[in-house]
Every structure is written in C-alpha cells, then in structure tokens.
Amino acid sequence: MTSSSTAQKTTGKVILLGAGPGAADLITVRGARLLSQADVVLHDALVTEEMLALCPQAEKILVGKRSGQRSTAQAVINEKLVECARKYKLVVRLKGGDPMMFGRADEELRALEAEGIEVEIVPGVTAALAAAASSKQPLTKRGIARSVAFFTSATAPGHPEETTLPDCDTLIQYMGGREAITTAQRLLAQGRAPTLPVLVIENCSRANERILRFNLGELEKGLADCHGPVLVMFGEALAPRK
C-alpha cells in the first residue's frame, strides 16, 4: 500500500496558474517562468495563442469550458490532471483570470489532494480588476462606493438557477452576457435606480476589447450581441468623470 507521502515523491507537481484576463503580457512574471518550464499545459478555451507561445516546449492539452457550449466535463479534467501528474514532472493547469475566482479550483484541488499530488497555486489578474483598468473606472470611490461584490449566475447542476444578488455598492457579474438583462430587471425590482451606471466589457484586455456604457434602465431593454467573454459592472462609482 502506497502512502500519501510516497505518492508525492513518485508523481509530478501541479501548478494551478492564473493566465490573467487575456492579454499575454498581463500574466505574472512567475507565471511566465513556470510556463517556460512546464512539461505539459492543460489550458482553458479562452487562453490565447500568444499565451501558449510562452511554453513552446510543453505538450498542450485543451480542456476548455465555455458557458452554453460543448466543453470538457470537470470530472474528466480532474482525471487528466492526475494522469499527467503521474507521467510528467511539472504540470501546469492554465486558467483564465485567477484560479481561485470562479475557476473550479476547489474541485481540482480535491482531486489532486486525494491522490497525494503536490499542488501550488499562482494567482492571476482577475477580469474585474483588468476591466476597471481598461475602462479607467475604479470599483471603489470615496464617499460613493466602499464595497464590491463579485458574483455569477452560472450554477452547478441541481442547484437553483436564480442566485441571490449581493447587496453592495459595486456589483461585478462574471460570465454575465446571457444574464445581463435579467440581472438588470432584478436590480430594478429591488429598487435600484434606472439611472444606475453600467459597464459591459467584452474580451477584456485583448485587441478586440469592447467597452459599452449603459444605465440600468437601458440595459433592461437589451444588450448588443456579444461573442466573447463578457463582464458586467453595476454601480455609481462607474459614472463617467466630469
């Protein structure tokens, strides 16, 4: 019978690595170094070719998950990580944004820890902070916004589809393109003002980035067709500077 400590010595190490919001030069220095050393990289669908160019020596395995599209089941990803750790010395699981923010890190950590596999987590720039930078709109503002909440309407199978909206000054909805209109309707029903500023950011930090400005009443009536990943930000702190 093999003990957990023995298993760690006979398997490789797995890095859960944040790729950042999209632009290849927004990855951390540590992240870029680890990519250049990796034997194999299991990457999300949103990871760009420019980012993958940082690891030309590595085997690359697409394990993308996109909302509303056919994608790799999480259980299969977990199995692949364990399989790669038993075969390679350094395994990188490259995730868009930050691994610990809507990145299913808990499920992957559980699978790896159950097999006694060593794991390191390297953070990345999460989309909300990159969107604030791109739009030049701070998420907090003295006297106006002291609290920020990140949320998503995406839920696990078997869980209620409608999540409780946070009560915060600034709200950031990840993967919000399909649910943005519904969210606007719910916020209006809660008493939020129709004039509440809204920013919609598509393909944050990339060359094809789009930043759209609405107020809550306008967003309720419709959202322009978006094809890339979408972040929706609500709050008085997002009003244009005058």
Task: Of 10, 9, 12, give the one whose Cα is nearest residue 92.
Answer: 12
CATH of domain 4-122: 3.40.1010.10
Give the per-residue pLDDT at 3: 46
Read off the pLDDT band of 4 (50, 70, 90): very low
Give the per-residue pLDDT at 161: 60
Task: Of 177, 127, 139, 103, give the one whose Cα is nearest residue 23.
Answer: 127
Cα distances (angstroms) measured from residue 167 to each of 85, 149, 189: 42, 8, 13
Angle between helices 105-114 and 74-85 (to 10 degrees): 40
* pLDDT exceeds cutoff 80 at 10: no
Q: Are 96 and 47 in contact (CB under 8 A)?
A: yes
Dist CA 29 CA 43 (whole Å)? 18
For domain 127-238, the question of CATH label 3.30.950.10 is answered with yes
Give the per-residue pLDDT at 2: 44
Q: Which residue has the higher pLDDT, 107 or 157?
A: 107
Comparing 4-122 with 127-238, is the CATH topology the same? no
Task: Of 215, 222, 221, 217, give the one whose Cα is nearest residue 239.
Answer: 215
- Name the catalytic one among 25, 65, 89, 225: 65
Q: What is the DSSP letter of 163?
A: P
Task: Of 209, 211, 210, 164, give the one whose Cα is nearest residue 190.
Answer: 164
Question: β-strand 197-202 against 210-215: which pairing, if any?
Answer: antiparallel
Based on the residue annotation, tell me whether 87 is a catalytic residue of this protein.
no
- Read off the pLDDT of each residue in 166-178 and give the average, rounded to a whole number: 93
Give the per-residue pLDDT at 177: 86
* DSSP3 helix / strand / coil % (the chain, rounded to 5): 30, 25, 45
Give the per-residue pLDDT at 52: 97
Based on the residue annotation, tell me whether 169 is a catalytic residue of this protein.
no
Question: Any bridge partners for residue 210, and if so which?
Answer: 202
Which residue in this structure is represented by tokens 């890190």?
105
Read off the pLDDT band of 223 (50, 70, 90): confident
* pLDDT exceeds cutoff 70 at 7: no
Backbone φ, ψ for residue 7 (5° rounding): -60, -40
Domain chopping of the chain, boundaries: 4-122, 127-238
Q: Are 84 and 9 in contact (CB under 8 A)?
A: no
* pLDDT exceeds cutoff 90 at 1: no
- Name the catalytic one among 44, 80, 95, 98: 44
Helix (H, G, I), strand (E, B) or coil at 165: coil
pLDDT per residue over 83-107, tens digit each?
999 999 999 999 999 999 999 999 9
Give the per-residue pLDDT at 195: 98
CA angle, 37 then 38 then 42, to 5°: 155
Read off the pLDDT band of 41 (50, 70, 90): very high
Helix (H, G, I), strand (E, B) or coil at 45: coil
Instruction: Look over the chain and give the mean of its residue pLDDT values, rounded to a whole number.
Output: 90
pTM: 0.87
